[in-house]
Amino acid sequence: MNFLLSIAFVVCWSSGFIGAKLGAGTASAVTILMWRFLPLAVVLLVVSACFARASWRGLTGRAVARQMVVGLLSQSGYLLTVYYAIQLGVSSGTTALIDGTQPLVAGALAGPLLRQYVSRRQWLGLSLGVTGVVIVTTADAAAAAGVAWWAYLVPFLGMASLVAATFVESRSRVRVAPSVAMTVHCATSAVVFTVLATVAGAAGPPAELSFWAAIGWLVALSTFGGYGLYWLILRRSGVTKVNTLMFLMAPVTALWGAMMFGEPFGPQTAIGLAVGLAAVVIVHRGDPPRRDAPALRSRVRGAVASEADEPGSAEPDAVESEVVQAPRRDHVS
pLDDT for position 322: 29
State the pLDDT confidence band at 287, using cuts at 50, 70 and 90.
low
Decide: 247 and 13 in contact? Cβ < 8 Å: no
| Residue 190 in this model has a pLDDT that exceeds 90 | yes
pLDDT for position 67: 93
CB atoms within 10 A of CB 238: 20
Decide: 14 and 253 in contact? Cβ < 8 Å: yes
What are the distances in angstroms from CA 158 to CA 94, 141, 162, 225? 13, 18, 6, 19
Give SS3 for 281. helix
Long-range contacts of 146-149 (CB under 8 A, 24+ apart): 146/89, 147/88, 147/89, 147/90, 148/88, 148/89
Question: For the segment 277-286, what is each residue's pLDDT rounded down to a tens digit?
Answer: 788 777 766 5
d(CA 162, CA 193): 17
Backbone angles phi, psi at 315, to 5 degrees: -80, 150
| Residue 260 in this model has a pLDDT that exceeds 70 | yes
**Residue 331 DSSP code:** S
What is the phi-psi region of residue 57: left when phi exceeds 0, alpha when psi lies from -120 to 50, beta otherwise? beta
Q: CB-based contacts of 323: which residues, under 8 Å, 6+ apart?
A: 293, 296, 297, 300
pLDDT for position 113: 64
Decide: 116 and 110 in contact? Cβ < 8 Å: yes
Question: For the segment 18-63, what is each residue's pLDDT rounded down to a tens digit?
Answer: 998 888 878 899 999 999 999 999 999 999 988 888 888 888 888 9
Model's pTM, two decimal places?
0.72
d(CA 59, CA 40): 22
| Residue 258 in this model has a pLDDT that exceeds 50 | yes
